[in-house]
């Protein structure tokens, strides 16, 4: 749950500068409220562990693999792709140039 909250905060903070075109969502129970941050949307992705953003694309790791989302319109993120993996990513993904790096523990 902590990772999902972190992802949500990261998504909202990265999209603050974009104009809101949709009515904001009601506050999610158990989350803090801030006067200068508005929840615009969430993604239907269970087991989220981390995310990275680049050029309007959010790269999300979860217990089920890697998914990519078009977040150029903050209120309506659209899925771009999914890569199911037999293991889960225990850290955020790294982006370097045109390379996305995933890792797993040997255990």
Please indicate, yes or no, if residue 84 is contained in any of the structural domains.
yes
Average pLDDT over residues 85-93: 72
| Beta strands, E only, the chain | 48-54, 57-62, 65-70, 78-84, 94-96, 99-101
Residue 34 lies in a domain: yes
Asked whether residue 25 is domain-assigned, the answer is: yes
Split into its structural domains, the chain has a count of 1
**Residue 107 counted as domain residue:** no
**pLDDT-derived band of residue 59, with 50, 70 and 90 as boundaries?**
very high
Q: 4: pLDDT confidence band, cut at 50, 70 and 90?
A: low
Average pLDDT score over the chain: 78
Task: Specify the DSSP class assigned to residue 18.
Answer: S
* H-helix segments, the chain: 2-14
- For residues 7 and 3, give the distance between their C-alpha atoms in angstroms, rounded to a whole number: 6
Q: Is 35 helix (H, G, I), strand (E, B) or coil?
A: coil
- Give the structural domain span for 27: 2-101
Residue 77 forms part of a structural domain: yes
pLDDT(2) > 70: no
Q: Is residue 51 part of a domain?
A: yes
Residue 106 inside a domain? The answer is no
In which band, very low, low, confident or very high, does the pLDDT at 6 lie, cut at 50, 70 and 90?
low
In a domain, 18, yes or no: yes
């Amino acid at each position: 749950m902590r990772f999902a909250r972190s992802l949500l905060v990261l998504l909202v903070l990265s999209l603050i500068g974009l104009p809101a075109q949709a009515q904001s969502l009601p506050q999610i129970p158990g989350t803090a409220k801030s006067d200068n941050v508005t929840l615009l949307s969430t993604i239907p992705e269970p087991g989220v562990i981390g995310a990275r953003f680049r050029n309007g694309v959010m790269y999300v790791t979860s217990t089920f693999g890697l998914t990519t989302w078009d977040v150029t319109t903050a209120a309506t993120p659209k899925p771009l792709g999914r890569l199911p993996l037999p293991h889960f990513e225990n850290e955020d993904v790294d982006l370097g140039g045109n390379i996305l790096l995933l890792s797993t523990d040997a255990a």
